[in-house]
A and B are shown apart, each in its own frame.
Chain A
């Protein structure tokens, strides 16, 4: 079974500051990991994904995440926050192989606020 813990239900940063959203996972098999973003009144949009290739993954809108197996972490970062980054962010995990790898398991989400 897989699980995801997102530390901090609400993160607030100033425009231009570093964004760091934390995600730790638990998985009994090698995982695939994802970050999704949800803007108000919209569906979840895939930001980036780790699928056992490079451990540093680059996504859309300047975001990136690093898979650290020893720390069971997949933290999301962006060097400089923009007002348009304000949204809710979800980390998700699924098994990397075998059956049922369509079953995404999500964290509770982190609401990012960007202050001018």
Chain B
């Protein structure tokens, strides 16, 4: 069973361009979480999605960032008009059931390293 897949692994964008990060959850998992790790910081929660629904986006910046998890295909984290401060590692995790259940585990992908020039 393949783990959580993220692509690209490394992404370079110039200021003002768009960045699209993809996350394919583990087979059978319908819950996806995105985290961001800024340089010298720990991972921070951004958003929690189920298929076709955003459950909690309280950690997402209010502007330029959006996330989706369509019925078919991977989850997408989209950053419009990137700025240098968006340079970070973006991690995706998935779980088979709602993570609000006790003891549930989130399985993490290898991350996408975004560099904004």
Contact partner of A105 (CB less than 8 A), chosen from B40, B45, B93, is B45
Residues of A within 8 A of B107 (CB): 43, 46
Residues of B within 8 A of A44 (CB): 91, 93, 108
Residue contact B35 to A104, C-beta cutoff 8 Å = yes
Whether a CB of chain A sits under 8 angstroms from the CB of B16 is: no
Q: Given A43-B107, A45-B108, A100-B56, check contact A105 B100 (CB 8 Å).
A: no
Residues of A within 8 A of B59 (CB): 103
Residues of A within 8 A of B43 (CB): 90, 92, 104, 106
Contact partner of A51 (CB less than 8 A), chosen from B9, B33, B42, B103, is B103
Give the docked Cα–Cα distance between A106 and B93 (Å).
Answer: 14
Residue contact A51 to B102, C-beta cutoff 8 Å = yes
Residue contact A102 to B108, C-beta cutoff 8 Å = no
Contact partner of B42 (CB less than 8 A), chosen from A41, A43, A97, A107, is A107
Residues of A within 8 A of B48 (CB): 102-103
Give the docked Cα–Cα distance between A36 and B41 (Å).
Answer: 15
Nearest CB of chain B from residue A15's CB, rounded to whole Å? 27
Give the docked Cα–Cα distance between A99 and B55 (Å).
Answer: 12
Whether a CB of chain B sits under 8 angstroms from the CB of A78 is: no
Residue contact A43 to B106, C-beta cutoff 8 Å = no
Residues of B within 8 A of A104 (CB): 35, 43, 45, 106
Residue contact A43 to B100, C-beta cutoff 8 Å = no
Give the docked Cα–Cα distance between A15 and B76 (Å).
Answer: 42
Residues of B within 8 A of A65 (CB): none
Residues of B within 8 A of A41 (CB): 9, 110
Q: Given A43-B109, A102-B99, 18 more contacts at CB 8 Å? A: A4-B42, A43-B3, A43-B4, A46-B107, A49-B105, A92-B43, A96-B102, A97-B102, A99-B100, A102-B95, A102-B100, A103-B45, A103-B59, A104-B35, A104-B43, A104-B45, A104-B106, A106-B35
